[in-house]
Amino acid sequence: MHELFLIVASVGSLYYLLGKRGFDYFSLAFFSADVYFLPGFFGYVSYGVNGAWTNSVIYPETYGIMIAVMLSILLATWCSARIKPLWGPGVTIRAMNATAGFLLLFAGAGFVGVLATAGHELLQPNKAVVLENLGRWDILFYSAASIGFPVALSLNRRALSAAFLALLLLDIFIGFRSAFAIALLSAMTLYLHRQGVGRLAKRNWRLGLLALAIGFFLFAYAYFAFAVKSGSWDLLRSLSTSPESYIFLFTHSEPFVIQETLNEVIAYRFKTDIADLVSSIANLFTVFAPELGARAVGFNDLFQRALFPEVDYGMANNIWAQMWSAGGWPLMLAFLVIYNLVLALGNRTLAIRNVVVRAGLAPLFVYWAFYIHRNDLGYALNLEKRSFLVLAAAIAMASLAHAASGNRKKSTLRSASPPTNDVTPSHGAPDYRAPD
């Protein structure tokens, strides 16, 4: 199975790199699978407890799930290229620049709220401590920033783009890489799609190198973050000058822990109730669900205490493990159909003519294509809901401000108009009063 995985991953990657086609969410999804299935190339998974790492050989059925995910994306790509779209989206929003401004206002307000509520705890090198002090201000902060960056770039608003980028870098310093990754992947997807049909590797190799450099930075920062936030410069110097560090940061990175979960779920035939999935979907339709008493059981709450009781930190989720655990291969394959249908829907949004809507929706589908690998269904849907609500709020407020501004202008024009002459001119006479 290891050899089959290498063949599918390699052939699929070469197809998206060298094939003559446009870049879309299917392309992103396959490259994302390459990243999150990184352990498949090495043949083992791992997790750490108190600095000691345990490696496990990947089981054949685990490889089978990885291969199924990749093959489903390739099959969906092939099918979508042969199905003519039945509808063409058209959206009209006049206040495009104002929408980007409101997104920056939301992100700035969210960051101020985070500072006010978490304070100096944000500087804690222990990520668990930081998480305990974050609330809904953080949701507003990272959601608005990750949406605002691709929107501002698409509008060619350089100052706004720089402001959003600064906020995203602050989020990285606090200890979270996902918003930065989602924002950049959204911007790259939009840029590559605008270029139309072509060979990705030939036409965009410079951007590819930039993407690899950014990916390396995100991998590396997770490894060096403790030393940076704690100000342990001797430790940072020791880690950064050791060749073993750069091997370790890949071979013991997040994908290895995520696929460890899948591997153990397969090994122990760990089963969960499909009702947990239903509750995750139900909570999607409830705003402020926790405050209203709704309690959805996350997949991590179920598998970690059963399979990894010795781990004293929250392990990342794995949606493929969740699907297999709740319904075996039938549910796994059914979800792959849904997964690819959503990607196909995302590709249709890339045809939306309105730049704000097209760019604003990009993070939602990047979350689905890229970030879904390390989440369970409930959290994945919550990320989509949060992003959509923030985007909708920014568009609504911008539209209201635009309408109010238009009404004020009309009122000003009416008040400045000269009084209407009360003398009706006859045919051939001038339309003004002639002097006596």
Please give the residue range of the domain that contains residue 358: 2-405
**418 belongs to a structural domain:** no
Residue 400 tokens, joined:
């209201």
In a domain, 436, yes or no: no
Tens of pLDDT, residues 275-323: 878 777 776 666 655 555 556 678 888 888 888 888 877 777 899 999 9
| Entry field: residues in the chain | 436
Residue 122 has what pLDDT?
Answer: 82
Domain annotation covers residue 421: no
pLDDT reported for residue 190: 95
**Secondary structure letter of residue 435 according to DSSP:** P
Quickly list H helices, 377-423: 377-416
Q: What is the pLDDT of residue 407?
A: 59
**298 within a domain of the structure (yes/no):** yes
User: Residue 370 — φ and ψ, nearest 5°?
Assistant: -105, -55
Contacts by 8-12, CB closer than 8 A, 24 or more apart: 8/67, 8/70, 8/71, 9/33, 9/34, 9/37, 9/40, 9/41, 9/70, 12/70, 12/73, 12/74
* Residue labelled with tokens 């924002």: 183
Q: Give Cα 269 distance to the centre of its chain.
A: 31
Count of domains observed in the chain: 1
Residue 394 lies in a domain: yes
Amino acid 93: pLDDT: 62
Question: Rounded mean pLDDT of the chain?
Answer: 84
Number of neighbours of residue 227 by Cβ within 10 angstroms: 18
Cβ distance 378 to 280 under 8 Å? yes
Entry pTM: 0.86
Q: What are phi and psi of 46, to 5 degrees?
A: -160, 160
